[in-house]
Amino acid sequence: MTPMIVRGVPRSLQRDAWWIAADSQTGVGSGGTIARRPWLICVLLIGLIDALALRTGLGLGFVAAIFSVGAAARWVLRNSVDRRRSAQAWGVLILGVIPAIDLVQATSFVMALIGLAVFAGILSGPQWARAAARIPLWGVAQNYRDLRAVELRGPSKSLVLDWLMPAGIGALFLLLLIAANPLVEGWITRINVDGAPSLQRMIIWIAVGLLVWPLLRLRQMNLHKQVATTPRKPVSVAYLNQRSVLRALVVFNLIFAVQSVLDLGYLWGGVRLPDGMTYANYAHRGAYPLMMTALLAGGFALLAQPWLDGRVMRGLLLVWIGQTLVLVMSSILRLDLYVDSYGLTHLRFAAFVWMAVVALGLVVLIMQIVGRYSAGWMLRRAFGIGLVAVYTSSVTNVAGYVARQQLTAGPTDIAYVCSLGEGAKPAVERYQPDLCVDRYYTPTIITPQDLRDWGFRNARLRRSLAQIKAEATK
């Protein structure tokens, strides 16, 4: 049979439509046979990540591990991605790991994973945002499909089918018990055989493998596949309709008005509180519940928008969101009063950041309602605000800022300051060098054993400490 030749296909389609030339047996196009053995690459990556990040303190080793995973994903798709898209992907990944170069912590870890997801999304095709958002869920689905596709015969098949789920979930429970109970951790430690990997390490290997595997199967996941959707029906009329939304907005506005009046009087106007209650107690009792209220308010505002046909409904919603914004500002003031009385902590710093994010999100929500933009328009901008907040927090020495505030502007919780870790060491050394002497917790700046342990923030802290000591000896 003479093959059919279609002429005039755009070059962009030629580049992006790699599936047209894919070999159905191997899942690989003309680019070679590397994807025939993705499990081998996965095993090698697990060993490399273990050597770079798990056997040492988290530093540049973690960054190198992230880049190794990215390089493997790029290699699998090496002939399916043009240079421009590849450069864009690497640029995003570098941006995502910059906070981890500074310091590996929860926020920088999250930013590195987000950067890796966007990296993979850009490699997989032009619609990178959709692809990156799908990777977490579709990656889990790909793990499941590939496990089911493993050809097992005889007793091994029955063994895997009978024990895969109990062993997997049991391992998860075991990790949680180890983290929560030092007794269980002690028991597990005792059964470890000398020279053999610990149970915790083997479980971590499995977790790393499950995270890495989908990135080696980007082609098979087809992240740009159009998902069949049905028109979204409004929520049941019995619970949410135009009449119920109207009544809810009226009631909510009245309730919020009472809270707003109280805050305007006691917090902003300086009205005397009842006997036995301090401003710090008033602030602490209300800050966090009000933040939860603000989040629920924002959720209801999104849910109620299909019924905002008239000016009255839209006006009531805008007034309510405005009151919610006032409520958030009151929460910030409450927390500020509490910090003045009891000092700043990590949690209170995070609360300030979170409140600022919620406030900006409410402003975006008001813009969306006034401008009659789509919910997607609002959600994308709200996500961007949250992403900027997380990224900024991940490159900020919060421990140093908290310690400096405790030692200079507020009441000093000595035990807490001394437990803040190496980030607080320069501030303690500058303002109260003898504060943590003879205490169980003492801020100590760790010296890296090798390049894998190196971190930019650690280097800056050691340099700052040396400068402070030099100034003290002059």
User: Per residue in 70-123, pLDDT tens?
Assistant: 999 888 887 788 888 889 999 999 999 999 888 888 788 888 989 999 998 888
The reported pLDDT for the residue numbered 327 is 80
DSSP letters along 352-388, please? HHHHHHHHHHHHHHHHHHHHT--HHHHHHHHHHHHHH
- The dihedral through the CA atoms of 234, 240, 243, 249 has a sign that is negative
Among the residue ranges 24-38, 182-196, 215-229, 344-358, the one predicted with the least confidence is 24-38
Phi and psi, residue 79, nearest 5° = -100, 5
Whether the CB-CB separation of 402 and 344 falls below 8 Å is answered with yes
pLDDT mean across residues, the chain: 75
User: Which phi-psi region, left, alpha or beta, contains residue 9 (left: φ > 0; alpha: ψ -120 to 50)?
Assistant: beta
Number of H helices, E strands in the chain: 19, 0
The reported pLDDT for the residue numbered 286 is 54
User: Which phi-psi region, left, alpha or beta, contains residue 125 (left: φ > 0; alpha: ψ -120 to 50)?
Assistant: left
pLDDT top residue among 265 and 238: 265
Does position 160 have pLDDT exceeding 50, yes or no? yes
d(CA 113, CA 108): 9
d(CA 221, CA 76): 13
The reported pLDDT for the residue numbered 1 is 45
The reported pLDDT for the residue numbered 472 is 76
Amino acid (one-letter) located at 201: R
456-468 residue pLDDT tens:
888 888 898 888 8
The reported pLDDT for the residue numbered 95 is 92
**Greatest CA span in the chain, whole angstroms?**
95
pLDDT top residue among 139 and 275: 139
**Domain boundaries, given as residue ranges, for the chain:** 19-221, 242-396, 403-473
Whether the CB-CB separation of 333 and 267 falls below 8 Å is answered with yes
**Burial of residue 43, with CB atoms counted within 10 A of its CB: 0-12 exposed, 13-18 middle, 19 or more buried:** middle
Among the residue ranges 32-46, 210-224, 354-368, 415-429, the one predicted with the least confidence is 32-46
Does position 11 have pLDDT exceeding 90, yes or no? no
Whether the CB-CB separation of 60 and 239 falls below 8 Å is answered with no
Does position 173 have pLDDT exceeding 60, yes or no? no
| β strands within 190-341, DSSP E | none
- DSSP class of 439: -
Q: Which residues of 405-429 are buried (b: 16+ CB within 10 A; e: fewer)?
A: bbbeeeebeeebbbbbebbbbbbbb
Most confidently modeled range among 1-10, 178-187, 188-197: 188-197
The reported pLDDT for the residue numbered 337 is 77
Does position 229 have pLDDT exceeding 60, yes or no? no
User: What value does the mean pLDDT take over residues 192-208?
Assistant: 69
Per the confidence metrics, is the pTM higher than 0.75?
no
- Categorize the per-residue pLDDT at 324 as very low, low, confident or very high, splitting at 50, 70 and 90: confident
d(CA 177, CA 390): 29
